[in-house]
Amino acid sequence: MAKKEKKIVKVSDDSKDTNSYTLDENRRIIKAKERKDAKGDAKKYRIGAIVCWLLAIVMEVIAILRLTGRIDLFSKMSLMGFVILFVILDLIFFVPGSLLWKKANHIDPASEKDKTKFWIWNNLGTILSILAFLPVIIFIFTNKDLDGKQKGIAGAIAIIALLIAGVASYDFNPVSAEQLAHAEKEVKAVSPSGKVYWAKHSKKYHVDKDCPAFSRSEEVYEGSVAAAYENNLTDPCRRCIPELKEDEEKE
């Protein structure tokens, strides 16, 4: 029985996701340009993140101004309803900002040589989530115009929003410049092209496009190590890189 040929999807390093590609006439080989300016791409995401975060904080400030009676915006809306609305708007703006920031950090990661900067760079979203929600929580529970039940409802929603923002902002798989450089060197030692492969639901990147891990995958993505990292795939398949497999067996 002839082996079924998989479609290889070449992923551009500057694509927004793994679906950004161009098919050739045979709809098998996918052509995509390589990213030339990683720092430039990361800068765009970071600017977007900062804009989103600033908008989120503006929503928080508006809620606080209404709580303190300094503005009477949407006067027909109850104070509790107004505060809840702007807390939700705060969250809606904040989370995308954090996702953009994390994406930028995977495209152009910080160096671990400066431990403090590395920690702040990778936890900035989590730090700012406290600034974006904790003050309004304090104003909710200290407000004299809200009764106990209203404080409980609005406060609970604000606390949940803070938790959602904090978890969404936290990078559970932070990347360093040294880690990315080492991975690229490791891959090139096995495959001079420096290309790696992964499937839609992969948890690791592969050097061999015919790796057994792809046995059930009809479509395999091809890209640089940086592209894999951008898609949150930072661990190599040990079956594809013999040296890693040997090290694992020795442990």
pLDDT at 246 over 70: no
Distance from C-alpha of 119 to C-alpha of 190, rounded to nearest angstrom: 32
pLDDT on residue 249 = 40
Q: What φ, ψ does residue 76 adopt, rounded to 5°?
A: -75, -15
Of 233, 228, 90, the closest CA to residue 168 belongs to 90
The burial of 178, by beta-carbon neighbours within 10 Å (0-12 exposed, 13-18 middle, 19 or more buried), is given as middle
For residues 219 and 241, is the Cβ–Cβ distance under 8 A? no
* Residue 138 phi, psi (nearest 5): -60, -45
Q: Is the pLDDT of residue 215 over 80?
A: no
Give the start-to-end residue ranges of the domains of the chain: 7-36+176-250, 38-169
Tokens 């200290």 correspond to: 142
What type of residue sits at position 149? K
State the number of CA atoms in the 13 A half-sphere of 85 facing the CB.
Answer: 11
More confident residue, 197 or 86: 86
Q: What is the pLDDT of residue 5?
A: 58
For residue 232, is pLDDT > 60?
Answer: yes
**Rounded Cα gap, residues 139 and 103, in angstroms:** 33
Specify the higher pLDDT residue, 152 or 6: 152
Distance between CA atoms of residues 87 and 136, nearest Å: 8
More confident residue, 204 or 191: 204
Identify the H or E element spanning 30.
Answer: strand 30-31
Cβ-proximal residues to 196 (8 Å cutoff; 6+ apart), any chain: 187, 205, 206, 207, 222, 223, 224, 225, 227, 228, 236
pLDDT at 176 over 70: yes
Residue 23 pLDDT grade (very low, low, confident, very high; cuts 50, 70, 90):
very low
> What pTM was computed for the model?
0.75
Question: In the chain, which ranges are continuous DSSP H helix?
Answer: 38-67, 79-107, 115-142, 148-169, 177-190, 225-230, 242-250
Task: Find the mean pLDDT for residues 114-118.
Answer: 91
Looking at residues 123-144, what average pLDDT do you find?
A: 97
Q: In the prediction, which pLDDT does 77 show?
A: 92
Please report, to the nearest 10 degrees, the dihedral formed by the alpha carbons of residues 174, 178, 180, 185 taken in order: -160
Tell whether the torsion through CA atoms of 234, 237, 238 and 243 is positive or negative: negative
